[in-house]
Amino acid sequence: MCGILFTCKPIYEKKDHHNPSFDSAYERLKAANAARGPDAQDTVQVSLGQMTLSFFGSELRLRGYQNVSQPHRDDQGNIMCWNGEIFEGLEVAPEENDGVKLFDTLRNLETVQDVRTALGKIEGPYAIVFYHAKTRKLLFARDPLGRRSLLVHKPTQEHPYLILASVSAGTDPLYAFDELSTIGFFVLDIERLGLGDIISAWESTSLLPRAPVGERYHFAGLSKINANLPNDPPMVSDIDHIPEHLCASVDQLVAHLEDSVRLQVCNIPIVHGELGQARIAVLFSGGIDSTIIAYLASLHADPNEPIDLLNVAFENPRKILVQEEGNLYALQKRERKQKMKARLDYSTITVKYDVPDRVTGRQELEELRRLCPDRTWNFVEINVPFEEYEAARPIIEALMLPGRTVMDLSLAAALYFAARGIGEVRRSMDAEPLPYTSPARVLLNGLGSDELLGGYGRFRTAYKAKGWEAIIDELQLELDRIPTRNLGRDDRVISSHGKETRHPFLSLSVVSFLARLPVHMKLDPRLETGLGEKMLLRLAANKVGLCEAAKRKKRAMQFGSHSARMAPGDEDRKGDRILPVA
């Protein structure tokens, strides 16, 4: 994971025109983006007419054996800030750095269209800001799924500067960030900037589609969902028997997912650590998604290293109050609110962290130990007291911007503390916990399976309304909005700890395979809960031996960890409610 901060602003020739406020805001942005890449930071500045272009990059080294400093540049004036990983489409040897390899490719190309073509042929999460000296064009973009964050402040009359940043430094009157769209590649003509009118230059920014009209590159965009309607497809009788028409698809899913995991866990360099320490961790709830990712990671990770399973649980006063007082929702609304606002007397309460995800996490730990007995699994119990959550909340809200809803906070809080990795481990179920901080810099995440395989309850609702056609429409909608929902926010939060999250389900190879499959091979709303949703994945998990995980029902992270609506009085706040500005 790396941090990108690009600014373009007018040069103020007179000191009385100098704007110290922007300089202060820039330093805060620089610090926030430096935290993402603790191994190296550097800045390149270019003066162009009445404008100054500043490229700042920070580096979290996860590829290659040598330290690499960003921004990448050469003596011809090409400059690249890269925040990404290349897993397919460009050969990168274990000792090589993928950013260096990509820059060597891009800097020798003739046109920005050639740059677009090169980027369309690689698979991996990325955000990029690239100045192509030969054409004097600035190209910036995110990968088709938006797995890496890139924010943009567009120049205005009041704030006449352009900012591109991996993360903001919280709300600030000097900038207003939006998440950069994944629709294509944005190209800014640097020649127009030299004229001094940055607003006009910005308004002339062109958009390159991810592939030329009539052409398609393998990794240039998202596949469309197979729209063929099934005609009374056969039903799965139980999870232990794979019907003949699904046998090949189950095997192919395991193969695609295993290959995705293999590419994402191999060749991670040892940095600042010792041999035998965990280089890989899994954001682990004990659900089917995180468990199968953990199992597949164990097949390809160094057998002499542990894998950390990061399991987070919150002290939620609202939940504890309900446990102590009983069913408050049976009370009149006014009386319920009064009790919810009452301060708990913790002198009579022992806070326990046996949240749903802790319980299922422990159960799946035993299943993983059974299947992979030679692997050391560090089940990291990350317990978050309410006071610690309250102290960290302003930091979390700043990181998740421009996300500002109650739901954003619930999810971001769980990811923030899980990624920090500070908790306890037990050498056996009955042993006393020992303090432990995960050294792993690569965090595997099971996100994406619900969208691709129909894991949400609304798929059943859609089927009841309009049958299989409605499910196809819902799957397409879920795929279309993956780039605009969680991924940028999650990247900003997790990377603040100098960690990188990787999503095996969201490899474009896996996405393409699942999108092409007929709908009835992925899910079956005619079957009971715990089998019908994500049916194909359940059959695959059961086949590899994850029998308990295969039957696990869907539970959202914020409810499983108790990070949702943390304070008494929050019970009536809807997830899409906008939080007040701090």
By annotation, the residues acting in catalysis are 2
Burial tier of 113 (Cβ tally within 10 Å: 0-12, 13-18, 19+): middle
∠ CA 256-490-582, nearest 5°, is: 170
Q: Looking at the DSSP assignment, which residues form a beta bridge with residue 79? A: 73, 131
Q: Which residue from 28, 6, 19, 27 is spatially nearest to 171, judged by alpha carbons?
A: 28
Give the residue carrying structure tokens 């939060």.
Answer: 493
d(CA 430, CA 547): 24
d(CA 115, CA 182): 16
d(CA 132, CA 138): 6
Which pair of tokens denotes residue 62?
A: 């996860």
d(CA 483, CA 474): 16
d(CA 12, CA 35): 29
Pairing of strands 280-283, 126-132: unpaired
Helix, strand or coil, per DSSP, at residue 168: coil
d(CA 408, CA 403): 6
As a whole number of Å, the end-to-end CA separation of the chain is 28
Burial tier of 355 (Cβ tally within 10 Å: 0-12, 13-18, 19+): buried
Q: Looking at the DSSP assignment, which residues form a beta bridge with residue 175? A: 172
Which helix (H) or strand (E) is 153 found in, with range? Answer: strand 151-153
Whether 293 contacts 261, CB under 8 Å: yes
Give the residue carrying structure tokens 């995991």.
Answer: 261
d(CA 319, CA 314): 10
Which helix (H) or strand (E) is 266 found in, with range? Answer: none
Whether 318 contacts 565, CB under 8 Å: yes
Amino acid identity, position 108: N
d(CA 33, CA 167): 6
Torsion of the alpha carbons at 353, 357, 360 and 365, rounded to the nearest 10 = -90
Pairing of strands 3-10, 51-59: antiparallel
3-state helix, strand, coil in the chain (%, to 5): 40, 20, 45
Q: Looking at the DSSP assignment, which residues form a beta bridge with residue 10? A: 51
Q: What HEC string does 77-121 produce?
A: CCEEEEEECCCECCCCCCCCCHHHHHHHHHCCCCCHHHHHHHHCC
Whether 531 contacts 236, CB under 8 Å: yes
d(CA 353, CA 385): 9
- Alpha carbon 115 to its chain centroid, in Å, reads 25
